[in-house]
Structure 1
């Protein structure tokens, strides 16, 4: 390695101090106004509470697939119209992305999830309507 002047070393220290200071300064989330500290804090907050957020009702979901199920089940006017006309038999899809099963009732889906995918009986099966709780705020 080449030699470095004291001035270059001092500049590097200033950059590190400035970066670490900026990385811990408080800011408000533009989506929910929660106070967040630093870039890493914002990234963690966003990924936890806004990455899979329904734009219609602002609920947050643990994955893209569960968000898609929520939108179909609660905000899809075309699917509701198909069900009313009898053009669609079942509107509830399995929580597993690799499973193509569809169900006529929430209870039938729950039985399927427990029996075929080994979900625990204590799983929050209402996740498609409730989303995840924001009480886990960072």
Structure 2
């Protein structure tokens, strides 16, 4: 990802934000859930350093899937990330497919709108 992003930036590309929707697998084991916040902070900081984009906007999606035992720990860690230019969009309440993991198509569209609004409201669009 880093190599491809650097290549795109070198050829005139721009990056406006990282959209992050991950963490369901971290809700299965306590150790993973407990360390999620620290690992996410490290990822954000490492991405910014590796790409030389210290103000890179990072928009994360609060998990919506609720059948794993430690989802509350991961969601709490997501909400408590306190780094500059990190935004939180909550997917909780969006409708899930029958697998209780993936969003329905309608919910994916709704989440896309929420992410776009968060990006546009950031005031950072286009700076990177």
Same fold (TM over 0.5): no
Q: Judging by fraction of residues, say which structure has more strand.
A: 2
Q: Judging by fraction of residues, say which structure has more helix.
A: 1
Q: Which has the larger radius of gyration?
A: 1
Name the TM-score, length of structure 1 as normaliser: 0.25
Which structure ranks higher in relative contact order (CA pairs < 8 Å, sequence separation ≥ 6)?
2
